Structure 1
């Protein structure tokens, strides 16, 4: 067994290829947001009905993170990427042929399921190739999701204006096939058994120190993920509506959302570097505390400049939280189950986003303001902090040294 199995030159090359795949595969969850106004106008539906395709996309994305991650554990990342690429393209095709909002929503369910391969499953796969620098590797691959959301809407804007959303979806279908499939075959190399054995020894040592079974820890992390992402969803889902209520208009809210996403990319990179020194639990705890502080700062902030600043602070605080869950899974759970375990926990975080987005809207309808919605997010964030403190108090992540 040698150290060449982890953190090698090939590991970094694989990281670059994986990030490229993530930036294309993840576009499915952002494309529906971009075309939503055109869909609403074409089908003559209300705002709630026009949001249904996005809801189905996120449900497919959430379930896919677990199901596709489990498939990667069984069949390997290359085969699953190829199948999902065809699935994403087929989803775009069904969407282009849809004649109603319901048909489009069902097509988006397939798009969301296939798109999930670009998040949790790729994060789990790259984690096998790193030990010393696993934190930054996971963070960079996770950033592919945010980068996809920042880049593709700009690329699609001209196509949408000139040719409509169906043409934009045709472009995305072709881009997915010609990009993801060739790059997938470049990832055919398997993780050496020696690397699996080394990672397994480290996770066993950490699991024994925590006194929790993998299943118990997965459910605990899932609960924590719901808590932090209910909190996270309040600004991300409702910042545009919040700005409209304050009289600043939707364009300003969109700019604040972009600031959050860009800040999130920076946060993920910094958190990855930090996790390589402190471990996943401490890094997640730091991010969660900073997110709670940012949510509190929203309460007195209704001036334009202060909202821009707080939105950037929020993005810089929360971006590294979700990748940290993947790191905790890899630190405490068997390597052979990485795809399914990472996928399950990330599925819980996505469900937390969906729950939090709805819950904040419901609180607004009841109270007529977002103030209690912010407090609700802070309370759920407290649940996440409590779980991380409890887990940190029970265990100390240990590294298994590689033989010379």
Structure 2
């Protein structure tokens, strides 16, 4: 597969791909990976004030969510390979809306609160990148990187609109109403477009997965590449999942107001969008691990800036954008690497391995940021650790080597 050009993307979109992109974009924007993640930073303060919980206890919700994702990853991958991405995505979005309503009705029991976050990630796992990347990668071959970037740009859209929207909802109607509105948005803007537009290629649905190009599960597990990718995403997600939900409290600790901090946090969404599209364009033209390593230099600098004592608004904005660009590459990079290094025969099952790695890193990162801040009164120590984790992730991905070839004529003909 040679470098893509604009006409390749247009041709694949005209062949029915635009509907899949639209459905996947909206589904990704309203998924369990986006809505709870980008709203918790704003909701944490009001929830803590009502229930008397600490900041670290609230942020630990994401750690419990990641536990559920780890438990759900392999079954979700298996079910996606067996029953299709569309069915799994629709079920996941519907159940996500149900749990968001339950969060809005929650009482002051912290164990029950954590249980809802575990249940949310278990029940809504079909709305994760496992399904969106599977469907889009199937329709787009020559312009796969760009298509994945556009699909997962939905997360960036949520990162732009969620902080100010949720802040306004909390100010006018309280945090419980904010969860009810988020649940309605998942149904109207996520589930319905998924049912209308998102589906796999008919020729793929007609085939047994054993007939698709790629590695068997045993071959992938027995090789070194699946482990490199999985471990790399542990380190990458530690930094992304730890820093982004804590940006609002991190910035308010520097003396900015909640609305000013929310404005900085909205830069994450803009940079995530730029990261999605930019990374996708680069993936279609250059070696994916090299692209990842180059992008990971940015958040290393961003963390060091945020850890510095005398940094003005402009440098804080730059640091936030640097982290957002990295968040913009995570899932499309994961999907692209799985498609190119492992193929489609067992895509869902194999994708679950780096997805578990991502979830584990995110669980540790989300908990570590809040806990270390509570213990030390500062985010500086964990920001310095995070700069190191981004560097480790880059080095691991650079060890992947050349892309393998799986029945090249079959892939090119799809």
CA 1:375–1:45 in 2, change beyond 3 Å: closer, same or farther? closer
Cα distance, 1:258 vs. partner?
2.1
RMSD: 3.7
Aligned pair in 2 of structure 1 residues 167, 375: CA closer, same or farther (>3 Å)? closer
Quote the offset at 1:87 in angstroms.
1.6
Structure 1 stretches lacking a partner, 5+ long: none
**How far, CA to CA, are the matches of 2:60 and 2:301 in structure 1?**
32
* Counterparts of 2:164 and 2:228, CA distance in 1: 39
Partner of 1:327: 336
Would the alpha carbon gap of residues 188 and 371 (structure 1) be closer, same or farther in structure 2, given more than 3 Å must change? closer
| Counterpart position of 1:144 | 154
1:89-128 to 2 correspondences below 5 Å: 89-102=97-110, 103-120=112-129, 121-128=131-138
Structure 1 167/310 Cα, relative in aligned 2: closer, same or farther at 3 Å? closer
Q: Aligned pair 1:59/2:67, yes or no?
A: yes
Structure 2 partner of 1:19: 25
**What corresponds to 1:192 in structure 2?**
203
Q: 2:290 aligns with which of 257, 261, 282?
A: 282
Matches of 2:210 and 2:298, distance apart in 1: 30
Q: Report the alpha carbon displacement of residue 335 of structure 1 after superposing the two structures with TM.
A: 0.4
1:2-401 map, 5 Å: 8-25=14-31, 26-102=34-110, 103-120=112-129, 121-186=131-196, 187-188=198-199, 190-193=201-204, 203=214, 216-233=224-241, 235-300=243-308, 302-304=310-312, 305-361=314-370, 369-392=378-401, 395-396=402-403, 400=408
Partners of 2:98 and 2:188 lie apart in 1 by 14
What CA distance in whole angstroms lies between the structure 1 residues aligned with 2:45 and 2:375? 27
**Structure 1-normalised TM-score?**
0.82
State the distance in 1 between where 2:335 and 2:373 align.
33
Q: Describe the superposition over 1:258-285 as per-residue Cα deviations: whole angstroms up to 9, x where unpaired.
A: 2233212101110100001114222222
Greater shift, 234-243 or 102-111, is seen at: 234-243
> CA 1:249/1:66 → structure 2, altered by over 3 Å: closer, same or farther?
farther
Tell me the distance in 2 between the aligned counterparts of 1:61 and 1:194. Answer: 26
- Whether contact under 8 Å (2:30, 2:186) holds in the other structure is yes
SS at match of 2:386: helix
Distance in 2 separating the partners of 1:95 and 1:300:
37
For residues 230 and 390 of structure 1, what CA distance do their matches in structure 2 show? 20
TM-score by length of 2: 0.80
Whole-angstrom distance in 2 between the partners of 1:282 and 1:195: 36
Could you tell me how far apart the structure 2 residues matched to 1:362 and 1:287 are? 28
**Is the partner of 2:107 in helix, strand or coil?**
coil
Q: How many aligned residue pairs are there?
A: 396
Structure 1: distance between partners of 2:374 and 2:53:
21
- Structure 1 residues 22 and 194, CA gap change in structure 2 (3 angstroms): closer
Classify 1:92/1:259 alpha carbon distance in 2 versus 1 (closer, same or farther; 3 Å): closer
Q: CA deviation at 1:41?
A: 3.1
* 1:146 CA drift (Å): 2.4
Deviation at 1:74, TM superposition (A): 1.4
Q: Any stretches of 5+ residues in structure 2 without a counterpart?
A: 1-7
